[in-house]
Amino acid sequence: MAGAEGIYGDLELSYPESDRLPYVLVNMVGSVDGRSSVGGKASGIGSRADREAMRALRSRVDAVMVGAGTLRAEKLNLGLDDPDARQPLAVVVAGEGDVPITERLVGLQRRVIVAAPEGSRRTPGSDGVPGAPLTVLETPRSGDGRADLRWLLGVLKSQHAVDRLLVEGGPTLNRSLIDEGLAQEVFLTISPKLLLGPESSILSGNQGGDQDEPPAEPRDLKLLSVHSAGDELFLRYRLRRHP
């Protein structure tokens, strides 16, 4: 087990396996009892080591993606702290609700891409962020009416040179990408807590088993690495292919 120094500092990522889609890493933080948030905010869980690991992952990718709900929950910086670093693109996947880019996206960004299903309510707050050009992508709708993620990933690759994509939640977006077979790796930080409450699970946005959600096939994982920092654990898994 590697120690606290430089978690993911020497991370080597595979080359993209597809000519048409990015290589997708899903990064999550959860408690020992598999819960994802404190009062709806994931930032209450992770430590400084977790934030450092997150920034190491971001430095390896071309774009960082979150769902609009995650942005609505708290202020986010999807970039790197180093002003000389090549910033990843910031991609926000919207549904029907607000996308408060201007209010909630902070820090340095090279470009902000908002993807929303065609015909959805126009996104207020989309004046963008100072110094970062804004691109709005109207996506086709998938079967459940949400943004077609496969289409979106294809456009990110073909039009925005995104070979590697880091997804940072929320739980619904993470799960959709995994369900649709679009994610290749899962990074999980286990915070040394039992949250115990009715907080949502790390891989679904509902507070307890949305009965409308179609049942998903369980997926097998290969454990790639284990790091620790203090009482916190950093796990890296590869998703095995569907049988």
Q: What's the rounded Cα separation, in Å, for the pair 237 and 225? A: 7
Residue number, 113 or 202, with CB nearest to a second copy: 202
State yes or no: residue 73 binds a second copy (CB under 8 A): no
Residue number, 35 or 146, with CB nearest to a second copy: 35
State yes or no: residue 175 binds a second copy (CB under 8 A): yes
Question: Binding segment for a second copy among 16-24, 28-36, 70-78, 96-104 (CB under 8 A)?
Answer: 28-36
* In contact, 222 and 238? CB cutoff 8 Å: yes
State yes or no: residue 202 binds a second copy (CB under 8 A): yes
* In contact, 73 and 46? CB cutoff 8 Å: no
Q: What's the rounded Cα separation, in Å, for the pair 132 and 112? A: 6
Q: What's the rounded Cα separation, in Å, for the pair 94 and 98? A: 8
Minimum distance between the CB of residue 124 and a second copy, rounded to whole angstroms?
31
* In contact, 35 and 202? CB cutoff 8 Å: yes
Residue number, 12 or 223, with CB nearest to a second copy: 223
State yes or no: residue 9 binds a second copy (CB under 8 A): no
Minimum distance between the CB of residue 232 and a second copy, rounded to whole angstroms?
8
Q: What's the rounded Cα separation, in Å, for the pair 45 and 33? A: 12
How many beta carbons lie within 10 A of that of residue 35, not counting itself?
A: 21
Residue number, 155 or 233, with CB nearest to a second copy: 233
State yes or no: residue 168 binds a second copy (CB under 8 A): no
Question: Binding segment for a second copy among 16-24, 90-98, 154-162, 185-193 (CB under 8 A)?
Answer: 185-193
Q: What's the rounded Cα separation, in Å, for the pair 111 and 37? A: 28
Terminal alpha carbon distance of the chain: 30
The residues that touch a second copy, with contacts defined as CB under 8 A, are: 1, 30-35, 38, 175, 178-179, 186, 188, 190, 192-198, 201-204, 206-211, 213, 215-223, 226, 228, 230-233, 235, 237, 239
